[in-house]
Chain A
Amino acid sequence: MRIDKGRISGLQFMFLIACYYQASSLLTAFQTGVTKQDTWIMVLIGSILSLPFLWAVRTLMVTFPDKNLIQILSEVYGPVIGKILGLLYLWYFLTVASLNLMDLADFTKGTIMTRTPSPVMAAVCILVASIAVRRGIRLVAKYGPLFTIIAAFIFVLSTLLVVNQIKLEHYLPIFSLPPKKYLQGAHISTTIPFGEHITFLMIHPAALLSRRDTGKYLFLGFAVGALTLFITTLRDIGVLGNTVDLFTVPSLMTLRLVHVGPTISRTEILFSVIFMILLFFKITVLFYVTVLTVAQLFNIKSYQHLILTVGSLIVVYGITLYPNPQKHAASAQEVEPVIWTLFELFIPLLTSIVAKIRKLPKVKEA
């Protein structure tokens, strides 16, 4: 049973994925803090390492085209273990939504609305997102193509404006850090931006996809996002050099350095706008997925009267997670990759293997 009857096209599904990853590509500080000028290599390695896991997600989407993640877990592991895993995924979606919401609130407070408290920013964002969530996946995904194109345009324009400040020596020395740092950097890349593809397993039943299109749109969306993240990291390191790890949002600092004559300066405002748009989109997707997970897990036919309650929980839970952005960054570098490995890499891979062994889904005899 599908709770939200709305449908989206394959192309909208692809842009939703691309836009989701683009939003992650703007927060590269977690990685630059660990692997500094070698982060671009870690992004490359992380995106390659993510491919088998993305394939596992694709396998689950193709094997269970009409079932979301919670339904798949119940079918593969049975009702009891399925429900337990479903509850764990509810916590995961709630946490990721809260973390992104607090990122947006902290960024807005730090750059544009310095006198507005973060919880107020977070509450306003959730209130606006709740309008989209109430209208279902059709409205959530509708703006994906527009946001992706605007983001790509601003991203290309801003990169062209700082090309003259990129210095090749900023990428040197290569591989001068201890091996453990590279392992950590690759792990962060694989889990924090790329591993979140598990979210799309809650959305794919709404997408009108053939077996062939599922892989095509999933991988294309991933490619756009990974390419954006790769070029963003490469640009920021090229401009900022070994100071890149000093900033919580390196792209903002890169664009502050744009100065083409007296007319083109202060272009970081472009970045601030696109950052807020993309992160708002990502939060809306995660908010929708969290509400849908609650409804699916507890067999509630209509999710409309859960939205504001779940939204309020995302806000207050987000406030309790970290006392400041520095603690958040430290945890994202040291602890979160380990926790997210279970949800983003291990369980999807295991589920696709168990489904294969059990020859699921079983065809009902007439």
Chain B
Amino acid sequence: MAAVIIVYALLALFELIPIIKSRSWRHIAVCGVLFVISFALAILLKLKVRVPSMLLLLGDLLRSWHLAY
């Protein structure tokens, strides 16, 4: 867990802090949202929580509609 937090802290240091300094709000919002999604996924994976696969879910949906092979 510590390794994940350190990696993301370094990521924030190199990417988020420069754009926060630049006060480009749109850039901060986009980067922030992507960062939060990525960090949350990394934490969930580290905690061995089963994150549902988007492609497997889509596969189940297409199979129920008889659209898959």
The reply to whether B62 and A339 contact each other, CB–CB distance below 8 Å, is yes
A308 proximity list for chain B (CB < 8 A): 11, 14-15
Residue A313, interface by CB 8 Å: yes
A306 proximity list for chain B (CB < 8 A): 15, 27, 30-31, 34
Which DSSP category, helix, strand, loop or mixed, fits chain B's interface? helix
The reply to whether A339 and B45 contact each other, CB–CB distance below 8 Å, is no
- How far, in angstroms, from A257 to B1 measured CA to CA in the complex? 44
- With CB as the reference atom, state the residue of chain B lying closest to A333: B69
- How far, in angstroms, from A95 to B55 measured CA to CA in the complex? 9
Chain B interface residue count, CB cutoff 8 Å, equals 33
The reply to whether B27 and A305 contact each other, CB–CB distance below 8 Å, is yes
The reply to whether A305 and B15 contact each other, CB–CB distance below 8 Å, is yes
Q: A184-B69, A294-B30 are in contact. Are A309 and B59 (CB under 8 A)?
A: no
The reply to whether A331 and B55 contact each other, CB–CB distance below 8 Å, is yes
- With CB as the reference atom, state the residue of chain B lying closest to A99: B55
The reply to whether A300 and B27 contact each other, CB–CB distance below 8 Å, is yes
A317 partner, pick from B14, B30, B41, beta carbons under 8 A: B41
The reply to whether B62 and A335 contact each other, CB–CB distance below 8 Å, is yes
B54 proximity list for chain A (CB < 8 A): 95, 320-321
B37 proximity list for chain A (CB < 8 A): 313
- How far, in angstroms, from A327 to B41 measured CA to CA in the complex? 20
- With CB as the reference atom, state the residue of chain B lying closest to A335: B59
Interface residues in A301-318 (C-beta closer than 8 Å to B): 302, 305-310, 312-313, 316-317
- With CB as the reference atom, state the residue of chain A lying closest to B40: A316
A322 proximity list for chain B (CB < 8 A): 53, 55-56
B59 partner, pick from A298, A317, A331, beta carbons under 8 A: A331
B31 proximity list for chain A (CB < 8 A): 305-306, 309
Interface residues in B20-39 (C-beta closer than 8 Å to A): 24, 26-27, 30-31, 34-35, 37-38
- How far, in angstroms, from A302 to B26 measured CA to CA in the complex? 11
Q: A313-B34, A313-B37 are in contact. Are A334 and B27 (CB under 8 A)?
A: no
Q: CB-CB contacts of B9-20 with A at 8 A, as 1s and 0s?
A: 001001110110
> How many A-B contacts if CB must be within 8 Å?
95
B27 proximity list for chain A (CB < 8 A): 300, 302, 305-306
- With CB as the reference atom, state the residue of chain B lying closest to A295: B30
The reply to whether B34 and A339 contact each other, CB–CB distance below 8 Å, is no
Residue A319, interface by CB 8 Å: yes
Q: A299-B26, A322-B55, A335-B55 are in contact. Are A309 and B62 (CB under 8 A)?
A: no
The reply to whether B69 and A298 contact each other, CB–CB distance below 8 Å, is no
A316 partner, pick from B45, B59, B69, beta carbons under 8 A: B45
B19 proximity list for chain A (CB < 8 A): 305
The reply to whether A319 and B45 contact each other, CB–CB distance below 8 Å, is yes
- How far, in angstroms, from A334 to B68 measured CA to CA in the complex? 6
Show 28 residue pairs from A and B whose CB-CB distance is below 8 angstroms, ordered by the A residue: A95-B54, A298-B30, A299-B26, A300-B24, A300-B27, A305-B15, A305-B18, A305-B27, A306-B27, A308-B15, A309-B31, A309-B38, A312-B38, A313-B34, A313-B41, A316-B42, A316-B45, A317-B38, A320-B45, A320-B53, A321-B53, A321-B54, A322-B53, A331-B56, A335-B58, A335-B62, A337-B69, A338-B68
A-B complex: 5 closest residue pairs judged by Cβ atoms: A335-B59, A316-B41, A313-B38, A320-B51, A312-B38
Q: B residues bordering A, Cβ < 8 Å?
A: 7-8, 11, 14-16, 18-19, 24, 26-27, 30-31, 34-35, 37-38, 41-42, 45, 51-56, 58-59, 62-63, 67-69
Q: A residues bordering B, Cβ < 8 Å?
A: 95, 123, 180, 184, 187, 294, 298-300, 302, 305-310, 312-313, 316-317, 319-323, 327, 331, 333-339
Q: Other than the known A309-B34, A320-B41, what 8 A-B pairs have Cβ atoms closer than 8 Å? A: A187-B69, A298-B30, A300-B27, A305-B31, A307-B15, A313-B38, A322-B55, A334-B69
